[in-house]
Amino acid sequence: MAAYSAVAGLGAAFGLVVGGLVADLVSWRAGFFVNAPIGVVMMVLAVRFLPETARRRGRFDVAGALLATLGSTALVLGIVNAADHGWTAPATLLPLGAGAAMPALFVGVERRAAQPIVPMRLSASRERGGAYVTRMLYMGAMIGFFFFTAQFVQSVYRWTPSQAGLAFLPMTLVNFVFAVRVPRLLERFGRPRVLTTGVVLTTLGMAWLSRLGLHTPYLTGVALPMVLIGAGQGLTLAPLTSSGVDGVAAEDAGAGSGLVNTVHQIGSALALSILTAVAATVSTGHEAADIAARSGAALTGSAVLLALAVTAVLILIVPRATREAALKERTL
């Protein structure tokens, strides 16, 4: 899990550097085509190196897949429309209403489905449920960090896309250093302490970064907060992923790991739409000042999401994980 998290964090930040270079040398549109050859290579490597699992007959949960996809899409659409039309406009209320109703329908369908896309027993564990909630909040905050910080350094500092990608190196390098040390830290301090420390450090770094202004210097206003954010993410992702799949039965392994990635993506999409709507409410009448103020407002929203993530960890994950660790020690 630590290796997975380290590579994931490094890849996300490395993608910013590569994307910046591609945007500078070719076009920002070319960045979307970079994924195609990577996908082809992944498919070839998967066929060659991944062992084939035992096959079994089954049925597609089409209704569940449609409700999950349409529900999350409707929520994002409603939030995005709120920035343009207001919260009381039909273009906002209709998709928000649909997005709120579909999850309830989804739960009903999944309970009756012979082979549900998301077995309801996955959320029976308090720790796993807490990990899903925390991951949605955490990754939502982080997508806001990447999106608005990149806009800030390009619009306020007038940096090129390549320079903007390199601006994230303090976060990238620290993230990798901490992520590769997580196994030893988990062995010494246990999952609850490492996870809590990681989310708290990320929250502190995001709160510091949210003070962005038109005259904020890079070193003290951006780079140093990134050090805290990088350390926090390096400590958070591995234990958070472990909590999300801990205790899952072998027959539910695919659904369990898939749900971890699903809440990751849904949290990012929902949070970015919310943070964008928050940023759109800020206006100063000057382009660079607008970007600075909007970035600060959005990153304040990210800090709030992280504070909620800390609360979820302390209430849902830490008590259960602590009790299970104590039980294992008594058994040994």
Number of H helices, E strands in the chain: 13, 0
Tens digits of residue pLDDT in 229-279: 999 999 998 899 888 888 888 878 888 888 888 888 888 988 998 899 889
Say if pTM beats, i.e. exceeds, 0.95.
no
Burial 178-204 (b: 16+ CB within 10 A, else e): bbbebeebbeeebbbbbbbbbbbbbbb
Q: Which long-range contacts (CB under 8 A, 24 or more apart) does 290-295 make?
A: 291/151, 291/152, 291/155, 291/156, 292/152, 292/155, 292/156, 292/212, 292/213, 292/214, 292/216, 293/213, 294/148, 295/148, 295/149, 295/151, 295/152, 295/156, 295/212
Cα–Cα distance between 25 and 42 in angstroms, integer?
25
Handedness of CA 164, 166, 171, 176 (dihedral sign): positive
Q: How confident is residue 135, by pLDDT bands cut at 50, 70 and 90?
A: very high
- Tell me: the pLDDT tens digits for 159-180? 998 898 889 989 988 988 888 8
Query: What pLDDT shows up at residue 13?
Result: 65
Q: Are 76 and 270 in contact (CB under 8 A)?
A: yes
pLDDT for position 60: 86
Residue 35 pLDDT greater than 70, yes or no: yes
| pLDDT score of 327 more than 60 | no
Q: Which one-letter amino acid corresponds to residue 271? A: A
pLDDT value of position 262: 87
* pLDDT category of residue 85 using cuts at 50, 70 and 90: confident
For the cut 70, the answer to whether the pLDDT of residue 285 exceeds it is yes
Percent of the chain scored above 90 by pLDDT? 39
Q: 30: which residues sit within 8 A by CB, 6+ positions away?
A: 22, 23
DSSP 114: S
> In the prediction, which pLDDT does 301 show?
95
- Between the alpha carbon of residue 234 and those of residues 48, 257, 298, the distances in Å are 30, 20, 23
pLDDT for residue 229: 96
303, pLDDT greater than 90: yes
Determine the Cα angle at 322 with ends 318 and 327, to 5°: 155
Question: Where does the pLDDT of residue 148 fall: very low under 50, low under 70, confident under 90, or very high at 90 and above?
Answer: very high
pLDDT level of residue 211 (50, 70, 90 thresholds): very high
pLDDT of residue 329: 57
Spatial separation of the C-alpha atoms in residues 267 and 102, rounded to whole Å: 17
Residue 308: predicted pLDDT: 97
- Token duo for residue 48: 């060659």
- Which pLDDT value is given to residue 245? 86
For the chain, what is the mean pLDDT? 87
Q: From CA 331, how far away is CA 312, in angstroms rounded?
A: 28
